[in-house]
A and B are shown apart, each in its own frame.
Chain A
Amino acid sequence: MPFTTREIESPDAVTQVSAADAAVREPDDDIGEKMVLNMGPSHPATHGVLRLVLELDGEIITKATPDIGFLHRGDEKIAENMQYNQFVPYTDRLDYLAPLSNNVAYALAVEKLMGWDIPPRGQAIRTICCETSRISSHLLGLGAMALDLGAMTVFLYTFTEREKLYDLFELLTGARFTTSYTRVGGQIRDLPENFIPQLKKFLDDFWPSLDECDKLLTRNRIFVDRTKDVGVISKERAIAYALSGPNLRGSGIEHDLRRKHPYLDYENYDFDVVIGSAGDCYDRYLVRIEEMRQSVRILRQGIDKLPSGPINVADWKNMAPPKSRVMTKMEELIHHFIVVTEGLDAPPGEIYFAAENPKGELGFYINSRGGGVPYRLKIRAPSFVNLSILPELLPGCMVSDVPAVLGSLDFVMGECDR
């Protein structure tokens, strides 16, 4: 058809000129005073591969267009082609700064579909996983924000602490970064023997170190000047844009899924939901600092009340039985074979489960038609939603504010682009 060929033909010189003439000009920019600055996808302040197209008037941003998708891997489509447990490693790569809590959130979502409640010890272990990864993620958020504002030393201090956390993760899961720790119905292994003493030692060392970063930044005049009244998100806008996590609480809204819709065992832990007041970068920074302290509180309680007992559900038809039984009992051997080859037998139906992850509300919507493979799996990525406010937040800021705003929104592109 001639019509179609014309569509895909590259425009000739005459068409290009007429297109340029017909292009809409900004009414208030007749003499072309504005400059379009392309920030990213490879730029030190954009934490990965976010691309911002900024329209500048001098150093002041008049228009900001975020361009995402450089890290798109099609995780949701991938999930439709594999068994539930096989998708666990993919959750590591969502918010890769807190892989453990992604594992937990995903496992909890599928368990909700299965109608399972894992034993108390398993829940306590998952709580410990979630909170350690929250500390790890917030430490990076804090360090990267400081780094973007020029305080490189804080970044290295936080990385020293994260290094210790990675050692803990390695002890727990065998991997430092891509943990893949949970399975639907439990964990791959119990806590190693010396995990709890090492975690205690970490918590003791961590508190003074956090205070040190706090002292370097919180009262630092330059840091306060750079972050206060910058990137202000009002309560209404925060709700309108469906922000979640520290970005929402920084605007003064007391919303924490651990409190509002308790999962795991969070209703039995004593912790404060930290909220800010002004909703600027400084408040979001303060919320993160204080949330780390609350995480330490939760971890200490978790260590104290860690119950003994099984860590996984004992539904051998859907959860691979332990090796000792597989090797000795006929029936368990058959179960193992079925579970490994066909996956668990999920009931048909749809569920949505959201967990309070370090970056915000990480939700999994699962549409199941029965069997071991989801029909559709949708990931509600907090970073994606949090970034949607950028076109409204950035205009009026200066170029120097972009790192502060981006740092305080604390996003991860692995999760945003999925």
Chain B
Amino acid sequence: MDPFFIITSLLKIVGILFVVILPMVSYAVYAERKVSAAIQDRLGPNRVGPAGLFQPIADMFKLLLKEDFTPRNVNTFYYWLAPCLAVMPAIITIAVVPFGSTLFGVPMVIADVNVGILFVFAIASLGVYGIVIGGWASNSKYPFLGGIRSSSQMLSYELSLGLAVIPVFLLVGNLRLTSVVRYQIEHGWFIAPFVGDWMNPWKWVLAVPMIISFLVFMIAIFAETNRLPFDLPEAEQELAGGYNTEYSSMKFALFFLGEYAAMITGSAVIVTLFFGGWHFPGIPDGSRGWIFGVINIAVFFAKVAIMIFIFMWVRWTLPRFRYDQLMRLGWLFFFEIALVNIFVAAWILAYFPSS
């Protein structure tokens, strides 16, 4: 294999994981606390460092130094496996998401596989195993209920998640996430096709099923990442923490980080699929100079940050669904909408005057 390819890939993996994603996860916790404070008319963390900026580091040390307690009667192997399973899929998924154009001629995506979105679904769905296994292995009733809720929730929403993106790929004709971004650069973002022949009314007609797709996809991602209004598996007030009740110290922290990593990955996928990825109208890609490559990466993460803000905004505004209401919503509403949406998109596409 080409040693240049191996070295750049390693650099990208290390760079994206340790320089971007992990700090982003810990600062997403900080952002969550600041955003919730702003929404709730409070100050939020402001003691550790300037404006509380070192709070995540302090939190991490606190969690590391806590007693790592393993209750009696747990299934030790699965009890230890669950936190790893919760955090890994979210981080692996990011591998196929293009987070920039090119930098010094190197494409800014760790693995540009041709099954792109299928890989995302396949790996992201593994995240539920962390919760289910954690709930089972804890040998306690509250985590058990949380695990059961989680598995049924995933089953209901994974389906609409998959169906919601089909219109996108009907249009692109390719599962590769980089091609999705390429298509949007040429034809405009799926949500707002302002680029190219944007006067063409058919493109705006086509944007309607895209917006429906986007909404269904985003709500399904909410459910996928276990965040309010879909945080039934942990449901602090009902299940006293749900699947992570019996966990302490760094194992608990891993569940916590897994949730935030899943949120970041989910935002990244949404941005790639519907908001043009790293593209911003008027900014050329990295082939015109490394500075533009850097700007493209910055644009991508800025969009991700905006999506994360929306995640947090929703969380601190809405109450939580009930188990049966959630299932009904998933199966009787989003599933149908996503299904009909495919046919609408296909019908428009069939009559779309291809230029």
Task: Give the B-binding residues of A (Cβ under 8 A).
Answer: 35, 37-38, 43-45, 59, 146-153, 156-157, 160, 216-217, 220, 222-223, 225-226, 398-403
Contacts and interface: CB of A to CB of B under 8 A. Distances in A.
Instruction: Output the residue of B229, B232, B320 with the most chain A CB within 10 A.
Output: B320
Nearest to A397: B322
Nearest to B320: A150
B236 interface: yes
21 contacts: A35-B141, A37-B142, A43-B240, A44-B236, A148-B237, A150-B231, A150-B235, A150-B320, A151-B317, A152-B36, A152-B316, A156-B41, A156-B42, A157-B40, A222-B318, A225-B325, A226-B320, A226-B325, A399-B323, A400-B238, A400-B320
Contacts of B165: none
B237 A153 contact: no
B316 A160 contact: no
B40 A156 contact: yes
A401 B235 CA distance: 12
Contact of A216 (B231, B239, B317): B317
Contacts of A149: 237, 319-320
A200 to B, nearest CB: 22
Given A153-B39, A222-B318, 10 more contacts: A43-B240, A44-B236, A157-B40, A222-B229, A222-B320, A222-B325, A223-B319, A225-B325, A226-B320, A403-B237
Nearest to A159: B40
Contact of A400 (B141, B228, B323): B323
B24 interface: no
Interface in B208-238: 228-229, 231-232, 235-238
Contacts of B237: 44-45, 147-150, 403
Contact of B41 (A160, A222, A403): A160
Contacts of B238: 45, 148, 399-400, 402-403
B328 to A, nearest CB: 10
Instruction: Output the residue of B39, B231, B237, B240 with the most chain A CB within 10 A.
Output: B237
B317 to A, nearest CB: 6
A147 B319 CA distance: 8
A153 B316 CA distance: 6
User: Which bracket fits the contact residues of B?
Assistant: 20 to 34
Contacts of B2: none
Interface in B55-76: none
A226 B145 contact: no
Contacts of B141: 35, 37-38
Nearest to B232: A400
Q: Which 5 A-B pairs have the closest CB atoms?
A: A150-B320, A156-B40, A151-B319, A149-B319, A400-B322
Nearest to A403: B237
Given A37-B141, A400-B235, A44 B322 contact: no
A400 B142 CA distance: 12
B318 A220 contact: yes
A30 to B, nearest CB: 21
Contacts of B316: 152-153
A226 B323 contact: no
Nearest to A216: B317
Nearest to A152: B316
Nearest to A220: B319
B40 A225 contact: no
Given A35-B141, A156-B40, A398-B324, A146 B240 contact: no
Nearest to B322: A400
A153 B36 CA distance: 8
A153 B325 contact: no
B321 interface: yes
Given A59-B145, A150-B231, A399-B238, A225 B322 contact: yes
Contacts of A217: 319
Contacts of B319: 146, 149-151, 217, 220, 222-223, 226
A141 to B, nearest CB: 15
Contacts of B149: 59
A45 B237 CA distance: 5
A345 to B, nearest CB: 51
Nearest to A217: B319
A150 B228 contact: yes
A153 B317 contact: yes
Nearest to B149: A59
Contacts of A148: 237-238
Given A150-B231, A222-B321, A157 B41 contact: yes
A222 to B, nearest CB: 5
Contacts of B320: 149-150, 222, 226, 400
Given A35-B141, A44-B236, A44-B237, A398 B40 contact: no
A148 B240 CA distance: 11
Nearest to A40: B240
A300 B34 CA distance: 38
A192 B320 CA distance: 44
Contacts of B317: 151, 153, 216
Given A147-B237, A153-B317, A222-B229, A401 B41 contact: no
Contacts of A216: 317
B45 to A, nearest CB: 15
Contacts of B145: 37, 59, 399
A94 to B, nearest CB: 25
